[in-house]
Amino acid sequence: MKNLKLPFKKTNIPESVKIFKQLPEKKLRQVFNHKIKFNHKIQFTKRVKGSIALACATILVLSGSYASDYLKTHENNIFSTDSYSVIEDGKEICKLRDPEMLDTVLLKLENDLEKSHSHDIAIENKFEVIESKAKDNEVVTDEQLYDILENTVNYSILAYSININSEQIGIVNSEYEATNVIEEVKNYFSKDYDEGSIVEVNTIEDVEIKQVKASNTEIKKADELVNYIIKGTDEEQKYIVEEGDTYWTIAEYFNMTLDELISANPNSDPDWIQIGDELNLVVPKPFLNVQVKRKVTQEEKTEYETEYTYVSYMYNDEEVVDRKGEYGISKIEALVTEQNGIQVAKEVLSEEVVSEPVSEIVTTGTQDPPPKKGTGYFINPLPGSYISSRFGSRSGGFHLGQDMAKAAGSAIKAADGGTVTFAGWSGSYGYMIDIDHGGGFTTRYAHCSEMYVSVGEKVYQGKVIAAVGTTGVSSGPHLHFEVRKYGSVVNPASYIGVQYR
Ligand SMILES: [Zn+2]
């Protein structure tokens, strides 16, 4: 702003004073008795500031013309005439001819300060203008006033605070930055989702962005604040992986649960840590929790039903699956709401059946099973089989049982009731089951492909205990069946279909 340099001329009669006196009292007060007070300023928007500046400019032009008239007729360094003292903190800091100059110059100073800080500011001083007398050389120009004010004003920076559930979490430079910080946090928690599927991202907590006065040191960088909100803390604690470390031992050492260590290191794979890797030991407790609402298309399984056919020739604890059931498939479009990756709500929008489920058909018996103990009589453990190798001497060796050939998967039955004493792998026997029938008699079933009983289990005579296979040393699917009396092998052929005790 340029100083008002007006031609100074000496005249005797202050014409302008007359003019002023002719003005109505109210108008005079408006023009001259106006006391400016800069109490902490209301934050005007640029537009409002603009209109204030325009109003000031108008007043300036008006008062300028009065002043011009006045000065034209009153250049005077001998007599004191009407002036206005600017008072700050009870002290006069300068004198003005035109009281409106304070407003105009303060506004310019504020604008300049905002520009140099790239920031809104608030001037804290209270200025007052009171009537006084001064000679022409005692009043200041607007340039001088600018310098005086620049050295006088105290101001604070107007920044923006992010409050989460009414608690101040951090301060950033601008409202734009604050909004961005919240958006960044939302992005962080929704980054793993397919962007096209996201309908809405909301925070659980109340977020408020408030204008506050702050000092430079209180203002955080936006990206630092994003990090702080995500982790819930500024704390840093790292651990460098050493030889022999696992997630488990590290968690235990630092008194953390495995889950905590995993959640503190979302970008590290617990199964693939290497010596020298840096692990974070601070478990994140985000200030903001984010809910992501997504539209998803999913395939869902529909359960199948099981239909039973009852036959009298089977025991009621036996089952034969005649037809395997199949799950049905439906294509579902749904709105899914997830919080921290966990589904909290699901609204099905549409459902399309891709395939209907197929019922499972099972045959089961009506007979009560016999008691689970030895009867003293052996039945054929593999009906419908033929003997492929007999008990006794065989090519220079001795065959301890008899081989009974039948298709792989055929049901092997317990020759008599008893207690399972072995069920597992046994070298050349392959998968093998031993049953103790009491009275010193045991039976052995070898080369099985599957076993349906376990050690200690009591079985009844005829119970399906295994399936025919060719595990261990075997030249094709068959059951190697042994009968032992007090531990010594006897010829099974002599015992099947026989009361043995
Ligand atoms: Zn054999």
b/e code 59-97 from CB counts within 10 Å (16+ = b): bbeebbebbebbbbbbebeeeeebbbbbbbeeeebbbbb
Q: How far is the CA of 305 from the centre of ligand 1 (A)?
A: 42
Distance from the alpha carbon of residue 156 to the mean position of ligand 1, in angstroms: 98
Q: How far is the CA of 52 from the centre of ligand 1 (A)?
A: 109
pLDDT for 106-119, tens place per residue?
999 999 988 887 78
Residue pair 186/290 in contact by the 8 Å Cβ criterion: yes
Cα of 481 from ligand 1 centre, angstroms: 7
Task: Tell me how far the alpha carbon of residue 321 lies from the centroid of ligand 1, in angstroms.
Answer: 30
Per the domain annotation, does 3 fall within a domain? no
460 C-alpha to ligand 1 centroid (Å):
24
- The enclosing domain of 323 has a CATH number of 2.20.230.10
Q: Are residues 328 and 261 in the same domain?
A: no
139 and 19 inside one domain: yes
Please state whether 482 falls in left (phi above 0), alpha (psi between -120 and 50) or beta: beta
Choose between 44 and 469: higher pLDDT.
Answer: 469
pLDDT in tens, 345-404: 899 999 999 999 999 999 999 999 888 999 999 999 999 999 999 999 988 899 999 999
For residue 483, the CA-to-ligand 1 centroid distance in Å is: 12
Instruction: Indicate whether 314 and 404 sit together in one domain.
Output: no
**CATH code, domain with 277:** 3.10.350.10
256 and 229 part of one domain:
no
On whether both 23 and 143 belong to a single domain, the answer is: yes
Last residue of a domain, one of 105, 137, 153: 153
Q: Report CA(387)–ligand 1 centroid distance (Å).
A: 10
Count of CB atoms within 10 A of residue 434's CB? Answer: 21
Per-residue pLDDT, 114: 87
Do 239 and 279 form a contact (C-beta atoms < 8 A)?
yes
Within 8 A by CB and 6+ apart from 397, the residues are none
The end-to-end CA distance of the chain, in Å, is 126
For residues 16-42, average pLDDT: 39
CA of 489 to the centre of ligand 1 (A): 12
Q: How far is the CA of 402 from the centre of ligand 1 (A)?
A: 5
What's the structural domain count of the chain? 5
The tens digit of pLDDT for each residue in 244-254 reads 888 889 988 88
**Which of 58-62, 160-164, 245-249 shows the lowest per-residue confidence on average (mean pLDDT)?**
58-62
At 309, the pLDDT band (50, 70, 90 cuts) reads very high
CA of 434 to the centre of ligand 1 (A): 15
6 in a structural domain: no
User: What phi and psi values does residue 4 have, to the nearest 5 degrees?
Assistant: -80, 105
- What phi and psi values does residue 227 have, to the nearest 5 degrees? -60, -45
Q: Is residue 35 part of a domain?
A: yes
pLDDT of residue 231: 83
The amino acid that residue 103 corresponds to is D
Cα(468)–Cα(55) distance, integer angstroms: 104
Q: Both 402 and 426 in a single domain? A: yes
| 463 Cα: distance to centroid of ligand 1 (angstroms) | 22
What pLDDT is attached to residue 235? 74
Q: What is the pLDDT of residue 14?
A: 38
Distance 501 CA to ligand 1 centre (A): 25
- What is the mean pLDDT of the segment spanning 267-276? 85
The Cα 466–Cα 446 span in angstroms is 9
H or E segment at 190? helix 175-190
CA 401–ligand 1 middle distance (angstroms): 6
Virtual CA dihedral for 414, 420, 425, 428, nearest 10 degrees?
A: -60
pLDDT value of residue 5: 37
Ligand 1 center to 433 CA (angstroms):
14
Instruction: Give me ligand 1 centre to Cα 456, in Å.
Output: 25
Whether 10 shows a pLDDT value over 50: the answer reads no
Stretch among 305-319, 402-416, 421-435 having the lowest mean pLDDT: 305-319
C-alpha of residue 365 to centroid of ligand 1, in Å: 32
CA of 447 to the centre of ligand 1 (A): 9
Distance from residue 435's CA to the centre of ligand 1 (Å): 17
pLDDT tens digits, residue range 169-228? 999 988 999 999 999 999 888 888 888 889 989 888 999 999 998 876 788 889 999 989
- Report the pLDDT averaged over residues 122-132: 90
> Considering the domain boundaries, does residue 4 fall inside one?
no
Q: Please give the angle made by the CA atoms of 247, 248 and 253, to the nearest 5 degrees.
A: 100
Taking the centre of ligand 1 as the mean of its atom positions, its distance from the CA of residue 470, in whole angstroms, is 11
Are 334 and 349 contacting, i.e. CB atoms less than 8 angstroms apart? yes
- If you measure from the C-alpha of residue 380 to the centroid of ligand 1, how many angstroms do you get, rounded to a whole number? 16
- Banded model confidence at residue 440, pLDDT cuts 50, 70, 90: very high
Residue 72 is predicted with a pLDDT of 53
User: Could you tell me if 361 and 374 lie in one domain?
Assistant: no
Note whether 19 and 109 are same-domain residues. Answer: yes
CA–centroid distance, 429 to ligand 1, in Å, is 9
pLDDT at 49 (0 to 100): 53
* Cα dihedral 372/378/382/387 (nearest 10): 160
Residue 10 lies in a domain: no
User: Which whole number is the average pLDDT over 489-499?
Assistant: 95
**Average pLDDT of the chain, as a whole number:** 84
Spacing, Cα 250 to ligand 1 middle (Å): 54
Ligand 1 mean position, distance from CA 390 (Å) = 8
CA 406 to ligand 1 centroid distance, Å: 13
Weakest-pLDDT range from 94-103, 277-286, 312-321: 277-286
Structure-block tokens of residue 489 = 């092998």
Cα angle: 431, vertex 475, 419; to 5 degrees: 25
In a domain? residue 416: yes
The CATH number of the domain where 461 resides is what?
Answer: 2.70.70.10
**Is position 130 within any domain?**
yes
Q: How far is residue 21's CA from residue 27's CA, in Å, rounded to a whole number?
A: 10
pLDDT at 206: 93
Cα–Cα distance between 55 and 50 in angstroms, integer? 9
Question: Chain centroid to CA 325: how far?
Answer: 39
Q: What pLDDT shows up at residue 66?
A: 59
Both 405 and 467 in a single domain? yes
92 lies in the same domain as 181: no
User: For residue 403, how far is its CA from the centre of ligand 1 (angstroms)?
Assistant: 5
pLDDT at residue 33 is higher than 60: no
**Beta carbons within 8 Å of 181's beta carbon, 6+ residues apart:** 162, 170, 172, 222, 225, 226, 229
Residues 78 and 98 reside in one and the same domain:
yes
Domain that holds residue 279: 238-283
**Co-location of 165 and 100 in the same domain:** no
* Domain annotation covers residue 19: yes
